[in-house]
Chain A
Amino acid sequence: MNLQHYFQQLSTDYTLLIITLGTGILGGLCGFLGSFAVLKKQSLLGDAISHAALPGICLAFLIAGVKDTHWLLLGALVSGIIGTVWIQGIVSRTYLKQDTALGLILSLFFGFGLLLLTFIQKMDNANQAGLDKYLFGQAATLMAQDVQIMLWVSLISLFAVLLFWKEFKILLFDIEYAKTIGLPTKYIDIFLTSLIVLVIVMGLQTVGVVLMSALILAPAAAARQWTNKLWIMVLLATLFGALSGISGTALSASFSQMPTGPVIVLSASVIVLFSFIFSPKRGILMREIRFRKSRRAIKLNKALSLMYRIASKHENVLVPHGKRMLNDFKGYSNVIFKKLERQGLINYRQNSWSLTEKGFEKASNLYNQLGKDE
């Protein structure tokens, strides 16, 4: 199956449509809420939460005895929240830093989850098959029911964010001010984090524990490069997330043996890379171009100011001078003369140069400014 084939199939193949819808909604939702996580400087919290959800999934299975998506999600949610609370407890009660706390909870919870998982697998229970799909995720197992849950969560998050838009915004950018005007910052923070935990837990089934955090981070990090406005960033991140979800599914369906989760993450990474390089204001490419331009301008100004110093020693400042001195002793090439002439700052002949009126005026201003600094 190739890409074209995939799009033809989309209208007829119900399963494929569900999976595409699911990953698209999931990606969009991750980008939507991920924007807040990234701006809150909690990028890696998602990583910790997704790993911390594993023991919850296993315990929920042990208690319920059946592999019911709702139960497992609930378990994941509870243990994800416990992990988050514990991280905050470690940071506030001990002098261990945020990174250590995140790494600790991430690995310890995951290890405990692994213990439970292998314990369950050794039990004689036919139901357990497929629990380990939460490790790497399997988009192919998405069902209409899962997509329905995703839709509900999306609606709830959208509603919540619209309702508390200005509270969230002030929490992100000026938490001290938010406290001063009496907002319950603690509760808003908990609410926002719970939403993020919810979406992470939902995505585990599709992209898995390991790669979930990237889906939260990448669209938001990419969107950040294009704008300084929150609502545009959130919108862009949603778009980027949905795009990487859908394109990931399309690519992995088009080539056999391609796992969906990693392909989604790689699609998102490509968007990030593109944004890093080509974003008009912050991008690496534009920055390099601006840097080169200003370096060239400085070089020209240096040449011009040297000419001004030579010229100003003479009665008539516009009199021609030989160019050999500048060429041989100062290392200025003919290219620079030509460039200056093109800008109308000097007259350039075979072996001599002279300042024009415009050039003299510009150079004297330049010279004045330099003199003031010294």
Chain B
Amino acid sequence: MNNAQIEIQLIAALVAAACALPGTFLVLRKMALITDAISHAILPGIVLGFFITHDLNAPLLIVMATLTGVLTVFLVSYTQKTGLVKEDTAIGLIFPALFSIGVIMIALRANDVHLDVDAVLLGEIAFAPFDRLVWLGVDVGPKSMWVVGTVLFISVLLLNFFFKELKLSTFDSGLSASLGFSPVLLHYGLMTLTSVTTVVSFEAVGAILVVAMMIAPAATAYLLTKDLRKMLFLSAFFGVLSAIAGYWLAHFLDASIAGSITTILGMLFLGVYLFSHKKGWIAVWYQQKQQKLEVSLITFLLHIHNHDLASERHIRHLREHINWHDVTANAVLKLAQKNNFISIENGLVSLTDKGLAFTKQAITYIMDNHTEGIESMKQKFFLFRG
């Protein structure tokens, strides 16, 4: 690894961590799409700043672009408050308009400005190490590393100071408002932080992939934990991991670094989405199937319990009576037999003692509306789950 490679990875990791922190709160506050709006709508701010400073890392440009971001949030909430359109429509109306203004501004001054819409939208982290920061005559590293690092440092600091306020207003905004923490102030504080982070990150990963860096690690972490602290750490971890893995994928394929980082983020999310222990797609699918079978089983036992007539309890009759397919009926019968709830003689189904006890308890729970008690009852009686 040469020096530039290490620096690129370092910048990517810093960007990932800086994005993951506000991203976590945005996902929890159901405002994930506001990042999409901000990252596009800052374009006119960036362009205007660039016309003045001719440097993408200039403080003035960062301030102007950040203000544009906050303005976007304000415009969205104003449009929403008029009640003329829903919130998501408001987002979808505001940011394309601002983005278009930015693109047109660039197009009109294309001859004397070296700013490319592609560069803003897609970013190119590979060029980041060329723009050095020289301090007191000493080369101290790439400029964007220092800029992103500073923003990350500030957000960690702010997060430490306002952790409980943010936590409270995220999960119970009513309570936090009544305790005297201004929701508006916290909201705009978070939005300002999001804007700053977006502005300093876009050069490295581009406006659209900032959205991925903010949302994807947080969403992945959210599927794994319900603890806010753990979620913050996990999402920062996922971000940094994908940043470094993505760099090497890009190196290997000779393709866009930002695209590779996002692809790794996507694969991470897909993996967790499918295989997460409790909330993954497969786990949920399995749970739903299990639940369905067990509910069928209880229905079946209640039916047997209600009927003494031999004709009502015959296996073949059951299939017609409860109107199940053969597959379902077989699965239910097998489960009931495995758990010793029923015995079958000459095709007649009858409840065993254990089955009778189970059914009676189930009836009391259902009559008393204590349906949540059924879950613990299942734990007690079932040898095999559905």
Contact = CB atoms under 8 A, between A and B. Distances in A.
Contacts of B250: 115
A181 to B, nearest CB: 23
Contact of A114 (B40, B89, B256): B256
B99 A112 contact: no
Interface in B171-191: none
A89 interface: yes
A106 B265 CA distance: 13
Contacts of B273: 90, 94
Most buried by B among A100, A218, A263: A100
B120 to A, nearest CB: 11
Most buried by A among B32, B33, B100, B214: B100
Given A97-B30, A259-B103, A108 B262 contact: yes
Contacts of B219: 96, 100, 104
Contact of A89 (B79, B263, B281): B281
Interface stretch (B3-11, B133-141, B161-169, B205-213): B205-213
A208 to B, nearest CB: 10
A272 B211 CA distance: 26
A99 B88 contact: yes
A111 B266 contact: yes
Interface in A85-101: 89-90, 93-97, 99-100
Contacts of B104: 258-259, 262-263, 266
Interface in B320-353: none
B254 A108 contact: no
Given A93-B281, A100-B215, A117-B256, A266 B101 contact: yes
B284 interface: yes
Given A111-B265, A114-B256, A266-B97, A106 B281 contact: no
B33 A103 contact: yes
B165 to A, nearest CB: 23
Nearest to A225: B84
B27 A100 contact: yes
Interface residues of B, number: 61
Interface stretch (A21-29, A39-47, A69-77): A39-47
A119 B253 contact: yes
B266 A108 contact: yes
Contacts of A44: 33, 88, 91-92
Nearest to A224: B85
B97 A107 contact: no
Contacts of B256: 114-115, 117-118
A112 B208 contact: no
Interface in A119-140: 119, 122, 132, 135-136
A217 interface: yes
Contacts of A95: 279
B222 interface: yes
A213 interface: yes
A111 B261 contact: yes
A102 interface: yes
A46 B96 CA distance: 12
A109 B96 CA distance: 19
Nearest to B210: A107
Nearest to B109: A257
B89 A221 contact: yes
A214 B36 CA distance: 13
B235 to A, nearest CB: 12
Contacts of A99: 30-33, 88
A112 B266 contact: yes
Given A51-B208, A110-B262, A257-B108, A211 B96 contact: yes
Interface string A254-280: 000111011101100100100010000
A248 to B, nearest CB: 10
A213 B40 CA distance: 13
A211 B101 CA distance: 12
Contact of B255 (A46, A115, A276): A115
A284 interface: yes
A38 interface: yes
Nearest to A97: B30
A282 interface: yes
Interface of B: 27, 30-33, 35-36, 40, 79, 82, 84-86, 88-89, 91-93, 96-97, 99-101, 103-104, 107-108, 110, 117-118, 121-122, 208-209, 211-212, 214-216, 219, 222-223, 250, 253-256, 258-263, 265-266, 269, 273, 279, 281, 284-285
Interface of A: 38, 41, 43-44, 46-47, 51, 89-90, 93-97, 99-100, 102-104, 106-119, 122, 132, 135-136, 210-211, 213-214, 217-218, 221, 224-225, 257-259, 261-263, 265-266, 269, 272, 276, 282, 284
